[in-house]
Amino acid sequence: MPPNRRRITSSSERERKMGQIKRIHEMLVNKEISCVELTKKYLEAIENSNKELNAYITVTPEVALAQAAKVDEKLAAGETIGLLEGVPMTLKDNISTKGIETTCASKILTGYKPIYDATVYELLQKEGVVMLGKTNMDEFAMGSSCETSYYGGAKNPHSLDHVAGGSSGGVASAVGGNLAVYGLGSDTGGSIRQPASFCGIVGLKPTYGAVSRYGLIAYASSFDQIGPITHDVEDAAIVFDAIAKYDERDSTSRGSEPALPTLDNDIRGKKIGIANQYLDGVREDVKEAVLQAAKVYEDMGAEIVYFDLPELKFALPVYYILAMAEASSNLGRYDGIRYGYKAEHYNGTHDMICRTRSEGFGKEVQRRILMGTYVLSAGYYDAYYKKAVNLRGAIVEAFDRAFMNVDVILAPTAPVTAFKSGYLFGEETDQLEQYLSDICTVPVNTAGLPAVSVPCGVDREGLPIGMQLIGKKFDEKTILNLAYRYEQAEHKTIETKWGVKL
Amino acid sequence: MVTREDIENIALLSKLFVDEKDLDSLTEEMQKIVSFADTINSVEVKSGDFDNINNLSNAFRKDEVKESYPVGEILKNAPEQAEDHFLVRKRA
Amino acid sequence: MKYELVAGFETHVELQTNTKIFCSCTTKFGGDPNTHCCPVCIGLPGTLPKLNERVVEYAIMAGLATNCEIAEIAKMDRKNYCYPDLPKAYQISQYDKPLCEHGYIQLSNGRKIRILRIHIEEDAGKLIHNHGDTYVDYNRGGVPLIEIVTEPDFRSIDEAKEYVEKLQQIMRYIGVSDCRMQEGSMRCDVNISVRPEGSEKLGTRTEIKNMNSITNIAKAMEYEYERQVDLIESGGEVVQETLRYDDATGTTSSMRSKEDAHDYRYFREPDLVTISTPKEKIEELRSRLPELPEQKFARYTEEYGIPEKDAAQLTKYRSISEFFDKASEGLKAPKTASNFIIGQIFRRLETEADKEAFDVKTTADQLNELCRLLESGKLKNNLAKTALEKMLDSGKAVTEFVSESDMAGLDDSTLTEYCQNAINAMQAAVADYKSGKEKALMAVLGNVMKQSRGRADAPSVIKKLKELIGQ
Q: Are residues C338 and C435 in the same domain?
A: no
Last residue of a domain, one of C389, C408, C427: C408
| pLDDT attached to residue C162 | 95
Domain chopping of chain A, boundaries: 9-310+392-490
Task: List the beta bridge partners of residue A307.
Answer: A275
CB contact under 8 A, C273 and B84: no
Q: Are residues C301 and C193 in the same domain?
A: no
* Number of domains comprising chain C: 3
Last residue of a domain, one of C408, C434, C460: C408
pLDDT single digits (tens) C411-459: 778 888 889 999 999 988 899 988 888 888 888 988 888 888 777 777 7
Can A92 be counted among the known catalytic residues? yes
Chain centroid to CA A25: how far?
23
DSSP annotation of A115 reads: S
CB contact under 8 A, A355 and B32: no
| pLDDT attached to residue B47 | 61
d(CA A207, CA A475): 8
Q: Per-residue confidence at C225, pLDDT binned at 50, 70, 90? A: very high
Residue C461: which CATH number? 1.10.10.410
| pLDDT attached to residue C260 | 60
C-beta separation of C12 from C187 below 8 A: yes
Residues of the domain holding C157: 3-284
B-chain CB neighbours of A323 within 8 Å are: none
The nearest CA of chain A is from the CA of C262 a distance in Å of 10
* Mean pLDDT taken over chain C: 91
Can A329 be counted among the known catalytic residues? no
Residue C321 has pLDDT above 60, yes or no: yes
d(CA C412, CA C457): 12
Instruction: Enumerate residue ranges in chain A where pLDDT < 50.
Output: 1-13
Average pLDDT over residues C40-52: 98
| pLDDT attached to residue C354 | 87
For every residue of A380-432, which 3-state class applies, written as one string?
Answer: CCHHHHHHHHHHHHHHHHHHHHHCCCCCEEEEECCCCCCCECCCCCCCCCCCH
Q: Are residues C16 and C59 in the same domain?
A: yes
d(CA A225, CA A243): 11
Last residue of a domain, one of C252, C284, C316: C284
Catalytic residue among A34, A40, A49, A92: A92
Can A167 be counted among the known catalytic residues? yes
| pLDDT attached to residue A2 | 42
Architecture of domain A9-310+392-490: Alpha-Beta Complex (3.90)
Q: Are residues C298 and C444 in the same domain?
A: no
C-beta separation of C252 from C244 below 8 A: yes
Average pLDDT over residues C40-48: 98
Q: Per-residue confidence at C30, pLDDT binned at 50, 70, 90? A: confident
Domain chopping of chain B, boundaries: 4-41
Neighbouring residues of C395: CB distance < 8 A, sequence distance ≥ 6 = C361, C362, C363
Neighbouring residues of C325: CB distance < 8 A, sequence distance ≥ 6 = C296, C364
What single-letter amino acid sits at B84?
A: D
pLDDT single digits (tens) C331-388: 888 988 898 898 888 888 888 888 888 888 888 888 888 888 888 777 777 778 888 8
Backbone angles phi, psi at A33, to 5 degrees: -150, 150
| pLDDT attached to residue A7 | 39
CB contact under 8 A, C24 and B64: yes
| pLDDT attached to residue A9 | 42
Sheet hosting strand C267-268, strand order edge to edge: C90-93, C77-80, C267-268
Beta strands in C131-268 (DSSP E): 133-137, 144-150, 186-196, 206-211, 242-246, 251-254, 267-268
CB contact under 8 A, C45 and A115: no
* Rg of chain A, C-alpha, whole Å: 22
pLDDT single digits (tens) C92-130: 999 999 999 999 999 999 999 999 999 999 999 999 999
d(CA C402, CA C352): 32
Residue C263 has pLDDT above 70, yes or no: yes
Minimum mean pLDDT among B32-41, C90-99, C454-463: which range?
C454-463
Q: What are chain A's partners, defined as 3 or more CB pairs within 8 angstroms?
A: B, C
Q: Per-residue confidence at C259, pLDDT binned at 50, 70, 90? A: low
H/E stretch holding C468: helix C458-470
Task: List the beta bridge partners of residue A163.
Answer: A155
C-beta separation of A154 from A110 below 8 A: no
A-chain CB neighbours of B45 within 8 Å are: 387, 390-391, 394
The nearest CA of chain C is from the CA of A349 a distance in Å of 8
Q: Does B49 touch chain C (CB under 8 A)?
A: no
Please tell me whether residue A138 adopts helix, strand or coil conformation. Answer: coil
Average pLDDT over residues C305-316: 91
Catalytic residue among A96, A106, A145, A167: A167
Q: Does C16 touch chain B (CB under 8 A)?
A: no
d(CA A245, CA A226): 12
Please tell me whether residue C195 adopts helix, strand or coil conformation. Answer: strand
CB contact under 8 A, A249 and C259: no
pLDDT single digits (tens) B68-84: 999 999 999 999 999 99
